[in-house]
Amino acid sequence: MAYPGNPQWPGAEVFSEEAIAPEVREHNAAILDRLTKAPDIWRFSLPDIRTARAAGRGSFPTCPPDPHAEIYMADGPGHDIPLRVLHPRTRKARGTYLHIHGGGWVMGTPSENDDRMRRLAENTGLVTVSVDYRLAPEHPYPAAADDCEAAALWLISSMGHDIPRQFLAIGGESAGAHLSAVTLLRLRDRHGLWPFHAANLVAGCYDLGGSPSVRNWGSDKLILSTRDVFKFTENFLRRDEDTRDPDVSPLYARLDRMPPALFSCGTRDLLIDDTLMMAQRWHAAGNGVELGIYPGGCHVFQGFPTAQAEESLAQMDAFLNAMIDEINR
């Protein structure tokens, strides 16, 4: 399926200081000040870091759990995988969005995204299904990818659920965008399947060896620093995996027969090179691409209540609605 139009690749002006809105500049300064003054998270154990994040002491604001969320169970590799499901409440369901949360492969839960998943469900008519995959380092690579692959296979099967499949999208943020891309590649290469009609990929880490923007970012704690990204990958990759392996770093994969994708990222996100390089390779392989590059946006800025976040979330809604409309023609 071809997505109409060509991506608008950003020019130098998008990366200029003048392009950053005052609200974004102030928001970034407040985050940088708060996180610079906070204790170094790597002084604590990962269970303690997860507890602090769940209690609202992490980098992102928390949201209350959606009272209408349901838990489904998918058959996984030797265990059941919990899936957090939100059905649209104000409109008829038109398909399903398989969501994979972020958190550097070591933290995060599906419920942390309930507000955005509820918004997406009501604005697009998609049932959202969020994968509660196993976390590193207790469960290092390939555990998370195995769980996401199994969840996708469960979703596209007709066994054990009534979740609509007339339109399927996949997406996630940060590590979740990475796992979304890996899942698409595994479905193609291991199973000969291309079931998803669209991908919504937000600030993904696609080169676990470290893209130039990751390596050159430095110590500024605007959500993530260079050290943070490598700490995450150290915990995720525990067996000396080759970071050029496409199953580890999907930037190095063949990318033919991928669905149309919206790639979103802020210019003050140290994963900006990952997004732009992956989008260019996705496009060069003959797949539809739309870009959402936002001046000054920090890592996964969509998790904050700002005008810029609203603009990006609205672009995601519009992209998914356009993909649904094209399937229904």
pTM of the model: 0.97
d(CA 121, CA 90): 9
CA distances to 5, 65, 114, 128, 313 from 70, in Å:
38, 11, 11, 10, 23
Quote the Cα angle for 263-223-114, to 5°: 65
Contacts of 90 (CB under 8 A, 6+ apart): 122
From CA 200, how far away is CA 320, in angstroms rounded? Answer: 8
The Cα–Cα gap between 296 and 213 comes to 14
pLDDT in tens, the chain (329 residues): 445 456 889 999 999 999 999 999 999 999 999 999 999 999 999 999 999 998 888 899 999 999 999 999 999 989 999 999 999 999 999 999 999 999 999 999 999 999 999 999 999 999 999 999 999 999 999 999 999 999 999 999 977 788 999 999 999 999 999 999 999 999 999 999 999 999 999 999 999 999 999 999 999 999 999 999 999 999 999 988 999 999 999 999 999 999 999 999 999 999 999 999 999 999 999 999 999 999 999 999 999 999 999 999 999 999 999 999 999 88
* Residue 177: its H or E element: helix 175-191
The dihedral sign for the CA sequence 99, 103, 108, 113? negative
